[in-house]
Amino acid sequence: MQNQFAFKKYKIIIHKSIILPTVVNGCETWSLTVREEHKLRVFEKSVLSRVLWPKRDKVKGEWRKLHNKKLKDLYSSPIIIQVIKSRRMRWAGNVARM
């Protein structure tokens, strides 16, 4: 049981250090539409559900998927859209200072 928690911790570290930066590479110049934001949210939820899924129900002993609200609670970092918007604002500030 202890080993499962360690694997999840390392998977979250890999997600934060490799997957997320790869996905948002160059996002400062993107013009995001609602459809693209939705696709990014779906991608992030699928990655997080693979990292944090499945959970074993203590009462029934069955395996179950985590719902989106529970995923957000377990993954405390900001969602991908917030990361993109903050990087765009930082980039705009750099351009303004030039």
pLDDT at 28: 85
Q: What is the band of 35 on the pLDDT scale with cuts at 50, 70, 90? A: very high
- In the chain, what are the domain boundaries? 11-97
What is the per-residue pLDDT across 4-24, written as a single tens digit (0 to 9) for each?
556 777 888 888 888 888 988
In angstroms, rounded to a whole number, what is the distance separating the alpha carbons of residues 4 and 6?
A: 5
Quick count: other Cβ atoms within 10 Å of Cβ 27?
Answer: 19
On average, the pLDDT of the chain sits at 80
In angstroms, rounded to a whole number, what is the distance separating the alpha carbons of residues 31 and 7?
A: 36
Encode 44-73 in three state secondary structure: HHHHHHHHHCCEECCCCCCEECCCHHHHHH
Judge contact between 84 and 32, C-beta under 8 A.
yes
pTM of the model: 0.69
The mean pLDDT of 57-67, rounded to a whole number, is 69
Q: What is the band of 64 on the pLDDT scale with cuts at 50, 70, 90? A: low
